[in-house]
Amino acid sequence: GAGVSQTPSNKVTEKGKYVELRCDPISGHTALYWYRQSLGQGPEFLIYFQGTGAADDSGLPNDRFFAVRPEGSVSTLKIQRTERGDSAVYLCASSLSARPGELFFGEGSRLTVL
C-alpha cells in the first residue's frame, strides 16, 4: 500500500506482558515517528528516527518503552511489563521532512492492557 501501515490494529494483553507494535512507513521516507494518543487527548510524542538512529527519544515515558528501526525502514515499538496506563492508540508517522511538521500517520495500533 501507499500509506503508513501499522500492525496489529488491535492488541489486548494482560498486565505484565510484553508487546510489540510494528510500523511500515511510506517507501522512501527517512523520518519515522511514534506518538501515543490516550482517550480525550491529542497525540503525544514518543520518539523520532532519522534513518536507523533515534534522533530524539525524549518522549518515551520510562525504560519499559523501547523502539528500533534497524534497517531504516520498518520500526518496532516494544513495551515491557505492560501496565493498564499504557492503554492507548499508538500512532506511527513518516515524513520526507519536505514541509516542517507535515507527517503521514498510520491508522494506529489500539493497545488495551487488562
Partner 1 sequence: DQQVKQNSPSLSVQEGRISILNCDYTNSMFDYFLWYKKYPAEGPTFLISISSIKDKNEDGRFTVFLNKSAKHLSLHIVPSQPGDSAVYFCAALPQGGSEKLVFGKGTKLTVNP
- Return phi, psi of residue 48, to 5°: -135, 130
How many residues contact partner 1, by CB under 8 A?
28
By CB under 8 A, which span of 14-22, 44-52, 62-70, 79-87 interacts with partner 1?
44-52
- Using CB under 8 A, which of 41, 62, 71, 98 touches partner 1? 41
Phi, psi at 40, each rounded to 5°: 80, 5
List the one residue from 1, 2, 27, 40 that touches partner 1 (CB under 8 A): 40
Q: How far is the CB of 19 from partner 1 (least distance, A)?
A: 19
- Say if CB 4 and CB 102 are below 8 A apart: no
Residue 10 interacts with partner 1 (CB under 8 A): yes or no = no
Cα separation of 14 and 84, whole Å?
A: 8
> Does the protein bind partner 1 through residue 83 (CB under 8 A)?
no
Least Cβ distance, residue 99 to partner 1 (angstroms) = 7
Rank residues 19 and 108 by Cβ distance to partner 1 and give the closer one.
108
Q: Measured at the alpha carbon of residue 46, what is the angle toward residues 40 and 49, in degrees to the nearest 5?
A: 140
Is residue 30 within 8 Å of residue 97, measured between CB atoms? yes
